[in-house]
Every structure is written in C-alpha cells, then in structure tokens.
Amino acid sequence: MHMDSQKTTIVKKEIRLFQSLGWKRNLLAVAAGFVVCTALEQITIATSGIREISGFDLSVAVMPLCGFSLAGWGVLGFILANVCSFCRLLFLHQAGALQNLLLVFGVRLAAMAVYCILPGSLWYRIRLKGEDTIRFPRMNTCAHVLKYYVIILVSTAIYVAMTALAYQSAFTRADLLNWAVTYTQYVDVALILGIPLLVLVSLVRNKTVTINERLVLAFLFTGVIAASLGGFLIYRTAAYLAPQIFREAHTYAVSSATSVTLPDISGSAYLRFRSMYYVVIAILLNGLLAIELLFMRRIEKKVTEPIIHVADALEGYADHEEDALDSESVITKCAPYEQGCGEVSSLTRTCVSMVGEIDAYTENLKAITAEKERIATELNVASKIQKDMLPGIFPPFPDRPEINLYASMLPAKEVGGDFYDFYLLDQEHLVLTIADVSGKGVPASLFMVISKTLLNNYAQSSRSPKRILTYVNHQLCVNNESCMFCTVWLGILNLRTGHMVCANAGHEYPVIRRRGGEFELFTDKHDLPLGLRDGLLYHDYEITLAPGDCLFQYTDGVPEATDCDEKLFGEERLIETLNREPGASPQQQIIHVHEAIEEFVKEAPQFDDTTMLCVEYRGSDSLNSAKYLYQDALAVPARLDCLERVTGFVEKNLDRLECPEKARFDIELAAEETFVNIVDYAYDGGEGDLTIEFGFDEDCRTAVLVFTDSGIPFDPTIQPAPDTSLKAEEREVRGLGIHIVRKTMDEVLYEYAGGKNILTIRKYIGENVQQ
C-alpha cells in the first residue's frame, strides 16, 4: 500500500511538472523549444543531402516527444522557431503570391501544432485496461509500446495529411507515394529517436531499466543496424547500377533548399529509388518492432503476469490482519499458474506448497502453545492447592497467647516439596513440623502431600515424635519405588509448661534464642531422613522453652540460596540476620531473612524452596492458664426450667467454700444472669446445651465460673453499658443482665474457641476460706 502512494506521488509530480509550470519555467520551456527546433533545422539544412523535397524536417519529427515532455509551452517555442525560419525564407526569396504562401504556411503551422500536442494528449487520455493512473510514457510493457506506436502512427498520419493538403490539392500516384514515404520517415524517426529518449528519461527517473525497455532497445538497435546495412547495400547497388539517379538527387536537393515550393519530380527515377530505399528501411524497422512486441507479449503472458499475480496473492497472505492465514485464497489464486514445467510454474508450485507448510506449522504451533498453556494452568492450580494445604492464617491461634507463631514457604518452581505444619493436638500440646522433600517440581510436591498427611494423622494418635517418625518412615518406604525421601524436624510443645519433645530426621539444626540472648544453632541429634531405609528406629530429645524463648526452623533453601557467583548464603549469615534484632517478633524475623536472601542473591534465580517457621513461647502467665482446680462441672440444656439446677450447683460449690454472704449473693446473681442470657439468646430460640464449671483459684482466693455454650458467638465484654438514664422499659433488655454481671464480678473474660463461647467470671471471695 505504501508503494502505491509513492508511485501516485511521482505520477502527480510528473504531470504537475510538465503541465502547470510557473511562468519562469514556461518561458524557459518556450526558449528551450525554440532553441531545439532551430538547432534541428540547421542540422537538417547542413546535411542537405538528406533533406527531401517533401519536407522531411528533423525538427518536426521530434515534435511528438516534445509533446510528451514539454507540452504546451515547448510547443510554442517550436512554433515560434518555425515562424522565424519561414520569415527568414520569405525575406531571402521575396517571392510573390504572399497570400498563398501565408495560407500554406498557416496550415503547416497548424499541422505542426497538432503534431506537437496530439501525441501527448492522446497518451494521457487513453486509459489502458487495468491501468489506474496514466504515467509518463515508459516502454516497460507491451501495451505501452503498442500504445505509443499507434499514437505515433495516427498523429503522423494527420500531420502528413494536413501538410500534403497545404501544398497540393490534387495528388498523382507519384505524389501519394511520395507522401507515404515521408510518412514512414517520420514514423521511423519517432521510433529510432523517440523510444531511446523515452528509455533514457525512464532510466534517469527510476534509476533502473526494465526487461522490456532493454528488449525494445535491443530490437531497435538491431533494426537500425539492419536498416543501415540494408540501406547501404541498396545505395551501393544503385550507385553501381544507376549512377544517374544520384545526379538527379543533387539537383533536387539544391532546388528544394532554396525555394518554398516543391519542384516537380514526378516520374523521376530517383524518386522511385528513394521510395524503395525508405520502404525497405521502414519495413525492417517496423517489422522488427512488431516482432519485439510479439516476443514481449509472450514473455509477459508466460512470465511477468503470472509472477505479478502470484506475488499479489502472497502479499495478501502475509499481510493479513486477522489471526488466521488465508491460505485458501492464495492456493486458489495461484492454481492457474501451477501447470507446466517452466520456471514460473515451478516457482508457483513451490510457493503454494510453502503456504501449505506454513499453515500446517502454524496449526501445530497453536496446538503446542495451547497444550503448554493448559499444563501451565494445571500447574498453577496444583500450586494453589498445595499452598492451601499449608496452614496460612496468622496468627493461627489467636486465643492462645502462650505462643506467637509465624511461617512462610516460597516455592522455587510452581509447586514445591517443602512444607511446614502446626496444629494443636489438644488444649495443651502444639505440634510443629518442618520438612524438605528431595527434588523439586511435581514429583516432590506429590511426595510432600503424602508425608504431610501421614505425619499429621499419626501425630493425632501417637503423640511421641520418635514413634511418629518411625511409623511414617516405614509407611514411606513401603511403596517408594522412586527412592524419594524427606528430611523432617518435628516438635511437640506443651504450652502450659514449655516442655518440648523433638525429633530430627536429617533436617537442619534448629536455631534457638533464649530470652534476652541471641540466636544460636542448637546441634540436636540427627537420624536419617524419612523414606530412605525401612525399619529404622528414630530417637527424640527434650528441650524446655522458658517464657520469652524463640525457636526458628528452616529448610536448606535458606542457607543454600546462591548468588550469581555461586556463593552460598550459609548458616552464619542466617544467624547474623536473625541476631540483627533478636527481640523482633517471629513474623519480623522471617521477613528479615527473606529480605537478606533477596539482597544476597540479587538476580540469580531461586534454586530451591525457601521455608521458615518461627515460634516464640510466651509462657502460661496469662490468666487463662492459671492453676485452677476445677472442682465441679454441670452440663444442662439451655432452658429456663433448668435454672434451679444451676442455682443448686452454684450454691453447693459456694457452700463447700464457705463463701461469705456478700460474695455469694453476687456470684449467684451473676450466674443466674449469665445463664438466663444464654438461654434467651445463645441458640436463637432453638435447643442447645451449656456447661458450667466451677473452680477456685487458690492463689488469689477467687471463685471462677466458666460458662461454655456452642451457640451464636456473642462477646458480652464488648457490649456497651445500658443507658440507665432511660426509663426502665426502654433499656435494652439483654443489656441489663450483662451489666449486672460486669458490675458484680471482678473479672469477666470471654473467648470464642473451637466453635464455643467461653465466658469466665471471677470473684474474689475473701480470706479465711477453706478448701
């Protein structure tokens, strides 16, 4: 598309240049025309041997060419030159009958004007089949050459006819022959001079010459040679055979040069010779041109046109804006040219088969890409599933202030083989696990799932790290054809006491920081990783964590993180990073280590999964884990008619403690209000149970009641106090009971755990109390 616009611009420039010049250029054109015409005239006169009676004039012969290029203004120059020469001639001879001469001259002038303008305008008006814009004459196709030839024939015929009629009104046969010969002379010059000139212009303009142009030139050149040879032979033969013809010729030449009228030469032998001479030349030249045209036409049909059509078809193929390549249309368009065993058909066949192959290749590529995308999507889903398997909500046990726990796993590929795990076995025991499966990618992740599940399941029943590892190792070895294994560190921490039993199956040393101290490697005893050898017995060891101690575990992806120079991050750097801020929270520590690794490896790709687990033990100083002695418990349905049982239960326990009256009243009141509250609202009108536990905290001589129900979560501690300025019935009905509880009890503690509301109320009951 771009090319076309360029061509259009060039064409427009051409036409603009030659048809609408500024006045200076017009003047220049006029002057040029004048000069050229005069020059040609002089050449004609100087070589007067060639100048013929019938007025063949070189300056006239080149007029069509001027018509193509200088149009309009150049023509004017030519006409002016002719006028001048005529005037000169007139002065020279001072002949009579000026009127007659003027008429003749006038017609001649008109004929010349026609001869100048007609070819040019015909060229630009006649549109060939399939041509969008008419360009400057260029002999690059058969059609163009033929067009030029026909225009020359027609224009010359008109000129010659007009000139003949100017000179003579009656024509003898000899006259007609004479004028016919003149006609052929003009046509020949238009061919011999015109075509090369046009090719030259084309060369200058386009910097290149097409095959046809070369061919035309070649044929013309051959024609000129042939004609010259032929002419020379004829001349020589004539000179030898009939020398008197040439004596005649000389006489005629002299007389015609100096007169404005034509001498009578009818019947002359010279004339006959001359006619024959020129006819032979004309036949040779035109004949060869005709042969060239036929030749060229054949090439065009067989080669050029097929190539252009195939090129068009392929251009459309590659240029297609839609995704689908339109090979169908290419194959259809190229089909007519595939037949045959010539070079063009061979090329066409190759192109068509290439198009077919590209199609097949593209289809294949699409299929492969789709497959790859499908696999990538599935891996993403697998990665997500695996990620969801690891407990990822932090803090995991918000109701257990004894520990602050954080963990993270960054996989190397889409799915990884590392994992961590933590869960409560019961109210007091927390299991911590960290593991690393050999290898990476999908196989490691599958093995990871199995290992994690086995460890979790068996921990529930066994509760002893060494037995857990022994059993899981056996299970992993039983069906392990692929010889995969995993390193595991597992610890069971007693949240109340800080006592931890751990086992290490080939995993890294844990890093421990004692309260107020720094992180240090704890070099525990290692057993072999799980899955390597069946029947192994594992060992465990004990650590006690004091409140404020912190344990950090990790997989080898951390110390083995590599930078671009293949240097390892290392354990020392890890401990250094942890100790930058030893008192930081577990989450902070893990973030610090991630940042340090990133800083260290820079652009190097992540080679292995990076997993970390950090837990800080805060101890069981909190109120919830005070040393209670739960003396009694009662389970009742949440129904109002059970109030008596509740009251009886509370009274019984208070009796046992010999609780003073004041505290007693308060406790009973609070118990009733709490119970009624649960009855009214916990199960939203449905049925449910609740449990009341009665305890006595010896340390602070405090009676403790714990109400547990599995109803709608409701935290009485965050309810606003009822607006007691309101009238009685306007007060929020529920709020009053809770208000009483909060006001009468020393402490009201609420937690929601395990799907249950747990409300603990405590009241100091004074001294002198016996158990």
Partner 1 sequence: MTRMTTKISREGASVTIHVEGRIDTISAPALDDTVCEALKDETIMDLAVDFAAVSYVSSAGLRTFLAAKKRMEERGGTLLLKNCSSNVKKLMRITEADSLLTIE
Q: Which is nearer to partner 1, 489 or 675 (CB)?
A: 675
Could you say whether residue 440 binds partner 1 (CB under 8 A)? no
Task: In angstroms, give the least distance from the CB of 722 to partner 1.
Answer: 8
Number of residues binding to partner 1, judged by CB under 8 A? 23
* Closest to 693 measured CA to CA, from 669, 721, 714, 674: 674
Question: Which burial class, exposed, middle or buried, applies to 635 when counting CB atoms under 10 A from its CB (0-12, 13-18, 19+)?
Answer: exposed
Task: In angstroms, give the least distance from the CB of 724 to partner 1.
Answer: 4
Q: Which is nearer to partner 1, 135 or 739 (CB)?
A: 739
Site for partner 1 in 664-683 (CB under 8 A): 665, 668-669, 672-673, 676
CA gap 285, 194 in Å, rounded: 13
Task: In angstroms, give the least distance from the CB of 741 to partner 1.
Answer: 10
CA gap 550, 573 in Å, rounded: 18
Could you say whether residue 720 binds partner 1 (CB under 8 A)? no
CA gap 29, 435 in Å, rounded: 97
Question: Which burial class, exposed, middle or buried, applies to 81 when counting CB atoms under 10 A from its CB (0-12, 13-18, 19+)?
Answer: buried
Chosen residue from 321, 603, 641, 699 binding partner 1 by CB under 8 A: 641
- Beta partners for residue 709, in sequence order: 690, 757
Could you say whether residue 177 binds partner 1 (CB under 8 A)? no
Q: Report whether the peptide linkage leading into residue 401 is cis, meaning its omega lies within 30 degrees of zero.
A: no
Task: In angstroms, give the least distance from the CB of 665 to partner 1.
Answer: 4
CA angle 89, 94, 95 (to 5 degrees): 100
Stretch that binds partner 1, among 113-121, 429-437, 502-510, 733-741 (CB under 8 A): 733-741
Could you say whether residue 737 binds partner 1 (CB under 8 A)? yes
In the shown chain, the binding pattern of residues 741 to 770 toward partner 1, with x for contact by CB under 8 A and - for none, equals --xx--------------------------
Could you say whether residue 446 binds partner 1 (CB under 8 A)? no
Q: Which is nearer to partner 1, 697 or 747 (CB)?
A: 747
Could you say whether residue 1 binds partner 1 (CB under 8 A)? no
Task: In angstroms, give the least distance from the CB of 747 to partner 1.
Answer: 16
- In angstroms, what CA-CA distances link 676 with 672, 681, 686, 745? 6, 8, 14, 16
Q: Which is nearer to partner 1, 164 or 670 (CB)?
A: 670
Backbone Cα Rg of the chain: 58
Question: Which burial class, exposed, middle or buried, applies to 28 when counting CB atoms under 10 A from its CB (0-12, 13-18, 19+)?
Answer: middle
Q: Are 404 and 550 in contact (CB under 8 A)?
A: no
3-state secondary structure of 544: strand
**Helix 211-241 and helix 244-258: axis angle, to 10°?**
110
Chosen residue from 373, 644, 655, 698 binding partner 1 by CB under 8 A: 644
Phi first, then psi, for residue 756 (nearest 5°) are -130, 145
Q: Which is nearer to partner 1, 626 or 642 (CB)?
A: 642
Residue with structure tokens 């202030």? 401
Could you say whether residue 724 binds partner 1 (CB under 8 A)? yes
Could you say whether residue 662 binds partner 1 (CB under 8 A)? yes
Residue 35 neighbours by CB distance under 10 Å: 12
Could you say whether residue 730 binds partner 1 (CB under 8 A)? no
Could you say whether residue 209 binds partner 1 (CB under 8 A)? no
Q: Which is nearer to partner 1, 620 or 744 (CB)?
A: 744
Could you say whether residue 321 binds partner 1 (CB under 8 A)? no
Could you say whether residue 125 binds partner 1 (CB under 8 A)? no
Q: What is the DSSP letter of 55?
A: -
Q: Are 34 and 80 in contact (CB under 8 A)?
A: yes
Task: In angstroms, give the least distance from the CB of 667 to partner 1.
Answer: 11
**Which residues of this chain interact with partner 1, rule CB under 8 A?**
640-641, 643-644, 647, 661-662, 665, 668-669, 672-673, 676, 724, 727-729, 736-737, 739-740, 743-744
